[in-house]
Structure 1
Amino acid sequence: MVFWEGYVSDEAMGALAPIVVYWIYAGTYQMLPPLDRYRMHSRKEEELRNLVSLPTVIKGVLLQQLVQATVALSLFAMTSKVGLTGKSAQPSFLVQIFQVLIGMLVMDTWQYFVHRYMHHNKFLYRHVHSQHHKLVVPYAIGALYNHPLEGLLLDTLGGAISYLVSGMTARTAVLFFSFAVVKTVDDHCGLWLPGNILHILFHNNTAYHDIHHQLHGTKYNYSQPFFIMWDKLLGTHMPYTLEKRADGGFEARPLKD
Structure 2
Amino acid sequence: MVFWEDYVSDEVMGTIAPIVVYWIYAGFYQLLPPLDNYRLHTKRDKEQKNLVPFSAVVKGVLLQQLLQAIVALSLLTATRNVSEDVVQPSIPKQVFQILIAMFVMDTWQYFVHRYMHQNKFLYRHVHSQHHRLVVPYAVGALYNHPIEGLLLDTVGGAISYLVSGMTARTAVVFFCFAVVKTVDDHCGLWLPGNIFHLFFQNNTAYHDIHHQLQGVKYNYSQPFFCVWDKLLQTYKPFNLVRRPEGGLEARPVKG
TM-score (norm 1): 0.98
Instruction: Tell me the residue number matched to 1:53.
Output: 53
- CA-to-partner distance for each residue in 1:204-225, whole Å, 9 max, x for gaps? 0000000000000010000000
The yes-or-no answer on 1:248 pairing with 2:246 is yes
Instruction: Please tell me the residue identity of whatever aligns with 2:129.
Output: Q
Note the C-alpha offset of 1:2. Answer: 0.8
- Residue ranges of structure 2 left out of the alignment (5+ in a row): none
The yes-or-no answer on 1:42 pairing with 2:45 is no
Instruction: Tell me the residue number matched to 2:150.
Output: 152
Identity %: 74
Correspondence list, 1:160-175, <5 A: 160-175=158-173
- CA-to-partner distance for each residue in 1:156-204, whole Å, 9 max, x for gaps? 0000000000000000000000000000000000000000001001000
Q: RMSD across aligned C-alpha pairs, in angstroms?
A: 0.7
Note the C-alpha offset of 1:256. Answer: 3.7
* Structure 1 contact 112–222 (Cα < 8 Å) conserved: yes
Corresponding residue to 2:206 among 184, 205, 208: 208
Note the C-alpha offset of 1:89. Answer: 2.4
Note the C-alpha offset of 1:252. Answer: 0.4
The yes-or-no answer on 1:24 pairing with 2:8 is no
SS at match of 1:242: strand
SS at match of 2:147: helix
Note the C-alpha offset of 1:108. Answer: 0.1
The yes-or-no answer on 1:236 pairing with 2:215 is no
Aligned residue pair count:
255
Instruction: Please tell me the residue identity of whatever aligns with 2:222.
Output: Q
* Structure 1 contact 50–135 (Cα < 8 Å) conserved: yes
Note the C-alpha offset of 1:246. Answer: 1.1
Instruction: Tell me the residue number matched to 1:111.
Output: 109
Note the C-alpha offset of 1:255. Answer: 0.8
Structure 1 runs (4+) deviating above 3 angstroms are none
Instruction: Please tell me the residue identity of whatever aligns with 1:91.
Output: P
Note the C-alpha offset of 1:235. Answer: 0.5
Instruction: Tell me the residue number matched to 2:64.
Output: 64
Query: How far apart are the structure 2 equivalents of 1:32 and 1:218?
Result: 28
- CA-to-partner distance for each residue in 1:18-66, whole Å, 9 max, x for gaps? 0000000000000000000000000000000000000000000000000
Instruction: Please tell me the residue identity of whatever aligns with 1:236.
Output: T
Instruction: Tell me the residue number matched to 1:8.
Output: 8
* Structure 1 contact 81–89 (Cα < 8 Å) conserved: no
SS at match of 2:220: coil
Note the C-alpha offset of 1:247. Answer: 1.2
TM-score (norm 2): 0.99
